[in-house]
A and B are shown apart, each in its own frame.
Chain A
């Protein structure tokens, strides 16, 4: 395997958790819910995924546990922010603080335990092709799930009736309500989907990306995923490109640290966060472009006047 091939492979691995989490958040935001708790949901997904995989020895169980944990956490957010119409910003921050604490509490028993290796896909002949073999046909199964999910989300949002209803709830909840659609139910389901994706993204971190549990191992990826949704202007296709770009930044800075380019490692570690800010600024400055796809009711509470 060449160096370049290795770098490209790790970029895909770094992009996958971001893509999972951002896809879920994209659906929630399309329904008009801003859930800032992605980081917390990823953290509980990571720890529960690792724990389940460790106890059963099956990565699939880990993935399912991650999804379930993320959904539970999202359900908590849904009850407080949607049923009790609490401020979504504050509730999301609460979920992040709670999730990070809870994950560390659960994870205490799993620190320092090596994880179970997740086998890569191996298709005879195809996976052995030079350069593209490993990259296209020999990734771990999660990568293919993530890509399928991106296509599925696009198809659901823009090609199905249910997706149209979801977007209408996000764009104008009063009209959607007047038409007889349940704003609460739509949003709650969207939030649960967001939690499932974030949980799976978290589980990917502790199962594949670095197969172990360490406290706060999400390292801000939940927040980067949130920024990615804005960066992609709420379009799943751009989200894939964005996730790969951010994956590339985080991997290249790691390689730069390994080679030792004469820049203190802390400055290189800052790069993903600084790039996130720069990307946000570049996208947000063009208000006209941004407003085309921004869900008009994003973050706004809804209580029907019965």
Chain B
């Protein structure tokens, strides 16, 4: 007797909605067991991780601040993954956006005001786009595997950022800390709600709605999906694969760049040697957990931001390593991917073991 996967006659609409929930539930159960085994009260741990951050206003604001870059990046990545373009280097595109957007406030410290902030945002987007265009061109022109090039470019971007923050852009009056000068309030995104919610939350709302419109209401969204599912069918339909590769790279790079400059001109307030605790990688998980759908990504982004918050809380309250969060996130992605397979397949128990012809011969 053994268990095999069997193709469903038609994909299961129920599992489409159920699989992310199932994945989250399985992750929580696994987490519960891990905590119990390591002699940490699992109920308290889960409380610290997933409930406590929601009990204070400041921490809800913090949660939103963390969700903003993750959701922005994941929306962009969802376009890539729908068209089967494997951009996993959003972390580098984020750094590129942070760098490009910081040019004005670092080199022209006296320039301030809404126009300057707008220019910073535009430059951040362009920086991310330009950096994402590199792997796009390498793929289109030279057939170079984008998974590897985008990932390599993350290391390059982070090293360059490190150089800039320690070298030419280091604040001369900053006691030798490897940071740029602190931006003035007139060089940062304005606060629109509460104590710390900045304008970037509006960017997220626009991005989610625009992405929903683009994917479900326009021919472009249709083209992306067709080319992703079957490049051959797309080619017969007269859709250009290369154009689509470039476009999805530019969208995802632009949004990652925007996330980068929003971080710098927001919660961080200056350019540092690192500007992201791995948002670019977390966004990959968010994109899949959200089923590559804008609304799904919105929810998934909030959930993963919660795990970041919980991770910080668990460090203080339970003395857990901050890496626990990354383990949780990786585990979650495993479960999401495995559960997704139940949309197209179901488990079947085969009683009689088929005779292996290779052995019978």
A interface list, Cβ under 8 A from B: 36, 40, 76, 79-81, 83-87, 89-91, 93-95, 97-102, 104-105, 108, 179-182, 215, 220, 223-224, 226-227, 230, 264, 266-267, 269-270, 273-274, 276-277, 280-281, 284-285, 287, 290, 303, 305-306
Contacts and interface: CB of A to CB of B under 8 A. Distances in A.
Given A105-B321, A108-B321, A266-B160, A281 B152 contact: no
Contacts of A303: 5, 7, 345
Contacts of B325: 101
Nearest to A291: B143
Contacts of A80: 334, 337-338
12 contacts: A40-B330, A83-B5, A90-B288, A90-B333, A93-B284, A99-B330, A102-B327, A179-B357, A266-B159, A266-B162, A276-B152, A306-B6
B5 A104 contact: no
Given A85-B345, A280-B148, A303-B7, 11 more contacts: A36-B147, A86-B341, A90-B81, A101-B328, A101-B330, A105-B324, A182-B356, A220-B155, A281-B138, A285-B143, A285-B144
Given A101-B323, A303-B5, A264 B167 contact: yes
Given A97-B330, A280-B145, A285-B142, A273 B340 contact: no
Contact of B281 (A97, A102, A266): A97
A46 to B, nearest CB: 14
Contacts of B4: 306
A89 B144 CA distance: 16
What 8 A-B pairs have minimum CB-CB distances, sorted nearest first?
A: A98-B330, A101-B326, A180-B357, A86-B337, A266-B163, A94-B333, A104-B323, A97-B330
Nearest to B356: A180
A305 B7 contact: yes
Contacts of A305: 7
Contacts of A285: 141-144
B285 interface: yes
A76 B333 CA distance: 12
Contacts of B324: 101, 105
A90 B156 CA distance: 22
Interface residue tally on B, bucketed by range: 35 or more
B272 to A, nearest CB: 14
A100 B327 CA distance: 8
Given A98-B327, A226-B148, A287-B143, A85 B159 contact: no
Contacts of A94: 285, 330, 333-334, 337
A277 B323 contact: no
A98 B334 contact: yes
Contacts of A180: 356-358, 361
Contacts of B196: none
A104 B326 contact: yes
B357 A230 contact: no
Contacts of B138: 277, 280-281
A72 B319 CA distance: 27
A171 to B, nearest CB: 17
Interface in B129-163: 138, 141-145, 147-149, 151-153, 155-156, 159-160, 162-163
Given A270-B159, A277-B153, A89 B86 contact: yes
B331 interface: yes
